[in-house]
Amino acid sequence: MRVGKEKCCAVNREAISKINNGRNHEVNHAKRQTDVIDKMIMVRGESFLMGTNEEDVFPADGEGPARQVTVDDFYIDQHTVTNREFQLFIKDTNYKTDAEHFGWSFVFQYFLSSYISKKVTQRVQQTPWWVVVEGAYWKQPEGPDSQINDRMDHPVVHISWHDALAYCRWAGKRLPTEAEWEFAARGGLEQNRYPWGNELTPTGRYYCNIWQGTFPHINTKEDGFVGTAPAISFPQNGYGLYNMAGNVWEWCADWFSKDHDLNFERYNPIGPKTGKSRVMRGGSYLCHEQYCDRYRVAARTANTPDSSSGNVGFRCVRDC
């Protein structure tokens, strides 16, 4: 059981007491001209053990118990949605993200320029490395003096659950259920800690983009990256999927609950009917073994649907 490492590298808007004012998230659901299953992987569904019975987990996150669940076949994006792909959606629909609607988003202090740092007036009290940056959104990930021209193949970030859902609808896809996401992340392995096995660095090699060094001040960049890595980075898992651990948190369709009713539906489960926050899986480049090692396959967290930050993105699925 985890003691003294309860914080997660996710942050929500309620920490700053800003409330969504009922914005309409509908978009023009234009159909892409390309095949919607382009670059998707078909995963053959079956029964698997979801969750974990390991002792070294976060009980408050509802990582356990391990339970048998069955999912049908589905297609899943080989990698997270990139800045290039999200830009196509924006150009086609003129959609405005939640971060743009609010006028700000959360940025990790490590990436702020001296100019932006001087303008910061709000930090999250319990995790002061998260700061409110006016004008931060997917196209300006560190604020108004930043851009993504050299990161078009990186995961799009500062994406809320609402934004991810809007993109999925435009693309003729949907967000994965939590069960689908975990089944895909396991890559055919049963109850392993990571998508590639039980060792974090087999033969001394990193298989994901996480924090090395002393969090939150020193990142030794042993995996090759400080912030996001390109969406196609590191070895694929057994199903041919990239970055199912680390890099960016990925939104799922489900409402979050830490309790799992073992008598509840086990065939294509969709989670609770209602809730306050939506599930996120996979961890991010800010996860660290001494702070937030939620890059394990069974690890999970949640956030309010309107929240966004510089380490949250998504990938899509589609029914077969």
Q: pLDDT tens digits for 226-247? A: 999 999 999 999 999 999 999 9
Q: What is the pLDDT along the chain (320 residues), one digit of tens a residue?
A: 554 445 667 778 876 755 445 566 766 554 554 555 678 999 999 999 999 999 888 888 999 999 999 999 999 999 999 999 999 999 999 999 999 999 999 999 999 999 999 999 999 988 999 999 999 999 999 999 999 999 999 999 999 999 999 999 999 999 999 999 999 999 999 999 999 999 999 999 999 999 999 999 999 999 999 999 999 999 999 999 999 999 999 999 999 999 987 767 899 999 999 999 999 999 999 999 888 889 999 999 999 999 999 999 999 999 99
CATH class of the domain defined by 1-16+38-93+154-320 = alpha beta
Tell me what pLDDT residue 5 has. Answer: 45
Q: How far apart are CA 134 and CA 121, in angstroms?
A: 10
Tell me what pLDDT residue 4 has. Answer: 42
Could you report the per-residue pLDDT of 180-229, keeping only the tens digit for each?
Answer: 999 999 999 999 999 999 999 999 999 999 999 999 999 999 999 999 99
Tell me what pLDDT residue 221 has. Answer: 96
Tell me what pLDDT residue 3 has. Answer: 44
Tell me what pLDDT residue 315 has. Answer: 98
Domain boundaries, the chain: 1-16+38-93+154-320
Tell me what pLDDT residue 215 has. Answer: 93
Whether the Cβ atoms of residue 89 and residue 165 lie closer than 8 Å to each other: no
Tell me what pLDDT residue 68 has. Answer: 95
